[in-house]
Structure 1
């Protein structure tokens, strides 16, 4: 079992409300995406040579982004979130249509597995690709936050069904499902003021059922788009640091698929520490349109959760 080297209980703050935690998660996702996009596909050594320690939202990177611009992690989350708001639930066809429209907009970045899944939907009308042992990428997990918010107080089986309905449009893989659902469970617990040890228990349970996810070994640097390496890096950063900023700086300086490790670590840290823990200079650097969209969707998704459970 992995044991955090931080004093976990000291960071727990039950006075942070649900809205603050959900908003922290959504803005944390976008901030982590924008911060990590600069170091995506670099090695830790290359990052040190170029930035010393990368801790500013400044754009650039291999995508030549503007400062504060986000990538597919945030854009797909917003596309998914909008369909949940409109339908009051995760409706697979509506989500597939939203993803298809997003791809038609010529996004700055799109993963190969995501592209194949959307093309499959366009050609067949089917909202689930065939199960594939090689499709254990992180693309379904990175966009899953709207499900966690809209289903934060739903039965677990309802959340799992919703998660797989959106995930399997592009990623149909047991290993990816397990990792995504662990993140969703951790987010829900954070929304409910859980202690960090409770979130660590979820991560350790994932390791027990899927040994590949072990994260108590050497530091995972240059993590790939494989969800296992993504979550190993996220877990190490989240459980070995005591504040939002330290978690994000740790994970994006590992390089690799840094926009996605940043996005997932950001949503998890934002949910646990709340929106006020996100450095104001990062929020100010974030694209204004993205920030407003994340804020609006957070409250609308919480309303969906409220209405659907009453």
Structure 2
């Protein structure tokens, strides 16, 4: 169904399964985060020795989490989604304030680059850090899902501007920017027109690798991936390209270890967007923190209604208050 047809019929996005895919992406993010957190910073050999194959949402890990408890990946995504909804658009100061409020809540885990960017905003009011090649971590991508949903149907230049507003509060690295935009494009492809989306998403991953060899997924199997975005996305894209279901994709990537909560979160929202909420194993959804699950469901629906695809309105984007 075309975007124009969806705009003409307010119920069309429900009938087309778009809501299921948007909710599936959000819950996939949280499920992947909670599943992967158990084995974060472990090597594949250590995971195999302890679990055989890590398959269940059991908590624990270096953060000693409860089963179904999420980390900064999901928490920052929800903070970003709240900020977009409050501002009725993508507004840098609102997003930075939401991140600052999240940091003040004393979250269980915070990346160093994320913390530095938030503290910079807190002390100077700036919502864009300087360009820094060492800011190529995965923190801006792990939380990008709300932006991708709110930007469904937006002009590509507007969508990119919006994505960079949220990213550059904490991460301003050209290498990371191109990786983030590929992820956003993959999400939009899955959400808007799922027919043949899998092949197109794999093609986008390969195109990124041709653009910059740091992202080349034809290299050897990425195991124990670091928080450097090319490492993260090589593991995510390899697992995506070699599986054909939500569960198989998540099990592949989290059992690679390393920054497994984030690889799980990113792949979780990609395959959630592709396969829809019904593809998420019920045993994982049953263990997921109920408050988090409810927040994910609600945000997905509200952000979808805000999007140009559904609302017919342009996406508002600004670094300063709108």
Q: Is the 8 A contact 1:224 1:257 kept in 2?
A: yes
Structure 1 counterpart of 2:41: 41
Write the distance in 2 (CA, Å) between the matches of 1:129 and 1:50. Answer: 41
Say which SS state the counterpart of residue 133 (structure 2) adopts. coil
Partner of 1:307: 311
Structure 2 counterpart SS, 1:134: helix
RMSD of the alignment, in Å? 1.1
Taking the aligned partners of 1:151 and 1:169, their CA distance within structure 2 comes to 18
2:295 is the alignment partner of 1:289: no
Cα gap change, 1:92/1:194 in structure 2, threshold over 3 Å: closer, same or farther? farther
Q: What secondary structure does 1:172 align onto?
A: coil
Structure 2 residue 274 is the aligned partner of structure 1 residue 272:
yes
After TM superposition, the structure 1 = structure 2 runs for residues 1-310 of structure 1, keeping only pairs within 5 Å, are 17-192=17-192, 193-195=194-196, 196-305=198-307, 306-307=310-311, 309=313
The list of structure 1 runs, each at least 4 consecutive aligned residues, that deviate by more than 3 angstroms after superposition, is: none
- 1:236 and 1:293 map into 2 onto residues whose CA distance is 30
CA distance, structure 1, for counterparts of residue 295 and residue 145 of structure 2: 14
Q: Secondary structure at the match of 1:140?
A: helix
Q: Deviations over 1:120-141 (max 9, x none)?
A: 1111100011000111000000
The question of whether the paired residues in 2 share the 8 Å contact of 1:237 and 1:247 is answered with: yes
C-alpha distance in 2 between matches for 1:148 and 1:135: 21
Deviations 1:237-278 (A, max 9, x none): 011001000000000000000000000000000001111000
Count residues in correspondence. Answer: 296
CA contact (8 A) 1:237 1:251 kept: yes
* Deviations, residues 108-152 of structure 1 (Å, cap 9, x unaligned): 000000000001111110001100011100000000000110001
Label 1:183 to 1:194 Cα distance change in 2 as closer, same or farther (>3 A): farther
CA distance in 2, matches of 1:23, 1:307: 18
**TM-aligned CA deviation for residue 307 of structure 1:** 3.0
Write the distance in 2 (CA, Å) between the matches of 1:135 and 1:287: 31
SS in 2 for 1:141: helix
Classify 1:308/1:81 alpha carbon distance in 2 versus 1 (closer, same or farther; 3 Å). Answer: farther
Instruction: Map Cα deviations across residues 153-173 of structure 1 (whole Å, 9 max, x no partner).
Output: 111111101100000000000
User: Gaps (5+ residues) in structure 1?
Assistant: 1-14
Corresponding residue for residue 3 of structure 1 = none
CA shift, 1:88, in A, is 1.4
Per-residue deviation, residues 182-233 of structure 1 (Å, max 9, x unmatched) = 0000000001214211111211221122121001122100000000010000
Q: Which runs of 5+ in 2 are unaligned?
A: 1-14, 315-322
| Cα distance between partner residues in 2 of 1:171 and 1:257 | 17
